[in-house]
Amino acid sequence: MLSISDTTPGVLSGFLSVCAIVCWIFVLFPQQLRNYKRKSVKGLSPYLLLFLFLGDFLNMMGCILTHQLPFQLYNSCYAVSNDVILLFQYWYYGTYIKNQNKLISENDISDDASLYNEEMMENSIGSLNSNLISSGLLMASQITTASAMPVNTDEILMKSLSQMTIGRFIAYCCAFCYITCRLPQLHRNYHNKSTRGTSPYFHGLAIIGCGLYASSILTSNQFLFNHDPVSKWDFFNNEFPYLLSNFGSILLDLCFFYQYFTYGDHLREREVDRILEISEATALLG
């Protein structure tokens, strides 16, 4: 039976996990609000968003397969939905609006050229559909033939892999994505000598959330009061990729703040925010 002193870290771990969830709920909101206010994603690296989405998606799958703590699973599902919103904003402000403006400005295109393009598109689509149908029929015939064949050694080998092993591999891939996603943005900031592409509040909340996330794992009863060395090592080994991704993210987010203050963006941010507030107030009064 656990004593009161044994259960105290468990309560602390639960409290830290709740605080981490609160941070992660709002971690991307400053960036989403920044994109919306400025109607622009200029300076924001698309690789940051892509690797962040891939990392969150793999994190969700890893949590499911390795039976992580419940708050980790809930947090990962919510993070994926937030990533989708950011990706939509990047497409909308960075691609859709630009294309709309180009279409409006290109009024000198002749009707003959438009008809020619439509005919070429119809021919291309017809050819593509034909190729897809042929490929689909060929694939279906191969699948039908394969289903009648005996099970090969590769299938037996895949079935022999444990769910935990696959989940741990996914967790390490997730850690790689989380750490890697910051690097393209840091490189772009260095190239532009500015951090105006991302919100400092995003990185600040990420540091707090990652710290709380890792602390909740290290203060859990499964880690502190597990007297079986083998079981304790298994728990630490299972949680290690998550600790690695969080501590690695904290380090790189601190690098962002070094750039933020070195390039003087903390002063420009205030001026830009003041201009935006004046513009919004003027629009409301007008």
Binned at pLDDT 50, 70 and 90, residue 32 comes out as very high
Mean pLDDT confidence for 184-198 = 91
Contacts 24+ apart (CB under 8 A), 271-275: 272/196
Question: pTM for the complete prediction?
Answer: 0.69
Tell me the per-residue pLDDT of 64-100, one tens digit each, with 9 for 90 and over: 776 776 767 777 888 899 999 999 999 999 888 877 7
Q: Report whether 269 contacts 200 (CB < 8 A).
A: yes
DSSP symbol at 2 = -
Tell me the per-residue pLDDT of 252-263, one tens digit each, with 9 for 90 and over: 999 999 999 998
Burial of 146 (0-12, 13-18, 19+ CB in 10 A): exposed
Closest to 79 (Cα-Cα) out of 258, 257, 269, 246: 246
